[in-house]
Chain A
Amino acid sequence: MIVAILSAVKECDFLYLLTETQLSKGNLSSHLSKLEGAGYVEIEKTFRGKIPQTLLRLTRSGRNAFGDYRKSLQNAL
């Protein structure tokens, strides 16, 4: 779900993912940490004005992995 949403955007912030996935903050952070560890997601801590903001992007390997997943779904059907 997280990878699917990230694959459709250039980048987004933590709040957008929280809104779209309806996961709790802790749950989402945990998933993102695992995805970052796997090299699928890139996390950038920045600021929007004076407010901290966490930007998230899918890496090339993340997009490739998602593309392979979609192909396998297609083939299974």
Chain B
Amino acid sequence: MSIVANRFVVQTGSMKDEVSNYLARPKRYDNIDGTGEMFMGLMMLGFALMGYLERVIPHDSFWTQHEVFFMYAVLAVVFALGFALQQVIKRNITFPRTGYVARGSAERPVATKMKAWIYAAVVGAGVALVVEAVMFVLVPSVLHGKNHSLNLAVARLFYAGLFVAIYGFWITRMGQGQQWKWAILVLMAAALLAAGILIPAQQPFKPFWHDEPFSWWVMILSGTSWFASGAGTLIMYLHQHQVAPSES
């Protein structure tokens, strides 16, 4: 290929990258103020709250007898609070500083939207299958009462590792200037590791899916990390952006 043709390809390629960059910006704008992370953190803390309430509420109470309703009620309240917090921050802090945007293309074909949902469902089912397959390997020795410590350690490592991996993936999708979040990830991983080591297994020994004290701590620590990360992003955002003058 000649030099001129090469330069054309490089320039055209970089134009394509630039367009892709502009197309990706609205997704990153969602969390420019940290509200996306704070919402995720609140949801995880909501799960932890649910676990705590299940332990303290009397066994013969209305809530215990209607466990599913109780679960949805708690999660619905937490979701509503998280959504309300997000909207308050967006309206009063974000929009006056860096503008308003409604995500999602008005002209996006229905077929494209359906494709996205199908991909999400397939990926979700795939992840669930992998998790089940990994855990299924551990089940026989657990049920036969062998290798409790090893199986519990592996299960805890896998469970906590999943949350760390999700947060790590989230960080990689963010724009520039977010490298400090890797420090939060390291702290989160260290805290989860400490919890995995220090929290004793339940007695009599129960399989990993009933490893409630540890699961509870995973939700608390992950949720707190996510929320703190979002709050840090919000503080940085306030520091970097002032309220813009009115258009009039």
Q: Which residues of A contact B (CB under 8 A)?
A: 1, 4-5, 7-20, 48, 51-55, 57-58, 60, 63, 70, 73-74, 76-77
- Which residue in chain B gives the minimum CB-CB distance to A77? B12
Q: List 12 A-B contacts (CB under 8 A).
A: A1-B18, A4-B18, A7-B105, A10-B105, A11-B101, A12-B102, A13-B101, A52-B246, A70-B19, A76-B8, A77-B9, A77-B16
B60 close to A (CB within 8 Å): no
In the complex, the answer to whether B101 meets A16 with C-beta atoms within 8 Å is yes
Q: DSSP majority for the B interface?
A: helix
In the complex, the answer to whether B105 meets A8 with C-beta atoms within 8 Å is yes
**Beyond known contacts A13-B100, A19-B98, A52-B247: 17 more, CB 8 A cutoff:** A4-B18, A7-B23, A8-B23, A9-B101, A10-B104, A10-B105, A15-B99, A18-B99, A18-B244, A19-B99, A20-B25, A55-B100, A60-B107, A63-B107, A73-B15, A77-B9, A77-B16
Assembly CA distance A8 to B98 (angstroms): 17
Interfacial chain A residues near B106, Cβ < 8 Å = 10-11, 57
Interfacial chain B residues near A76, Cβ < 8 Å = 8, 12
